[in-house]
Amino acid sequence: MDQTKRRPRKQGWRFVLLALALAVAISGLVRSLWIDVYFIPSESMEPLFGTGDRILVSRIDFDAEPIRRGDVVVFDGRGTYAPLNSGKGPVLDAASAVAQWLGVAGSETTYVKRVIGLPGDQVVCCDEQGRLTVNGQILEEPYLYPGDAASAQKFNVVVPADRLWLLGDHRSQSADSRSLLGAPGGGMVPLDRIIGRPVQIIWPLDRFAAVPRPAEAGTTGAGTTTKNGQ
């Protein structure tokens, strides 16, 4: 009698485990092909994203329309932003790996920044009014963190083919392409390292909102003489 009573329980647990495994497999497939969850670990993209935000990232948005200046992108920084981890990510324990997969912890090799320079662009900081110029034109940056300068660090870069020059919106708090000017690759991120575009803030709930794709960042007028001859 005891054995006959236990069999339905065993079958029930097997069904639950099978259903759980199937759900994880489907979730993994969706996240690898369509949409994923990421955690914002810093203030580098304020005011658009705050520390602790969880965002949905579409992997397919850039399939229909190429990346343009002003887009916000999530990317794999191994070999560029994380040069010491070139080709390899940090060794994770199981708890850290699960936390990153669930989008409740940040990754040391995944970043979110804004596209400032496209392949072939010359990006310069700064003109006499402290503005960035792209190909000699003043770059309009309405997304900058209030009170921040376009950059306290001067640079004059030409973006190679198939690469991007990326900066955070909160420039005074962002480690970005500027931080790697002397490193191999000069902070330029290959296009094939782009994971996708943030499309939704899902946490915290009081910040739940869609993240619309911005219009292409415009340039106006001719850039004036730059500081220090740059």
| pLDDT, one tens digit for every residue, the chain (230 residues) | 445 455 566 666 766 666 555 555 454 544 555 689 999 999 999 999 999 999 999 999 898 889 999 999 999 998 888 753 433 333 334 444 444 445 444 467 899 999 999 999 999 999 999 999 999 999 999 999 999 999 999 999 999 999 999 999 999 999 999 999 988 889 999 999 999 999 999 999 999 999 999 988 877 776 544 443 33
Residue 154 annotated in active site: no
Does residue 16 sit in the same domain as residue 125?
no
Q: Which amino acid, one-letter code, is at 45?
A: M
Q: Among residues 53, 49, 51, 39, which one has the least CA distance to residue 104?
A: 39
10 and 100 share a domain? no
Verify that 2 and 26 share a domain, yes or no.
yes
| Range of the structural domain that residue 14 is part of | 1-33
Q: What is the DSSP string of 133-150?
A: EETTEEEP-TTSPTT--S
Q: Which residue has the tokens 């662009």?
A: 121
173 Cβ contact partners less than 8 Å away, ≥ 6 residues apart? 42, 43, 44, 46, 145
Calpha distance 208→54 (Å, rounded): 9
For residues 152 and 61, state if they share a domain.
Answer: yes
Residues 53 and 18 both lie in one domain:
no
Contact predicate 188/160, CB 8 Å: yes
Answer for the pair 46, 114: CB distance below 8 angstroms, yes or no: no
pLDDT of 87 reads 38
Domain shared by 75 and 21, yes or no = no
Annotated active-site residue in 42, 44, 174, 177: 44
Residue entry with tokens 């329309």: 65
Q: Say yes or no: 11 and 75 in one domain.
A: no
User: Do 19 and 86 reside in the same domain of the chain?
Assistant: no
Are the beta carbons of 69 and 115 closer than 8 angstroms?
yes
Whole-number pLDDT of residue 18: 62
**Do 111 and 174 share a domain, yes or no?**
yes
Residues 47 and 138 in one domain: yes
d(CA 189, CA 177): 8
95 lies in the same domain as 199: yes
5 included as an active-site residue: no
Residues 15 and 60 in one domain: no
Alpha-carbon torsion angle 54, 58, 62, 68, nearest 10:
-20
Tokens coding 91? 């060794």
Using CA atoms, how far residue 214 sits from 36, 113, 163, 217, 226, in Å, is 20, 14, 20, 8, 28
The catalytic position among 58, 113, 151, 177 is 113
The count of domains in the chain is 2
CATH code of residue 55: 2.10.109.10
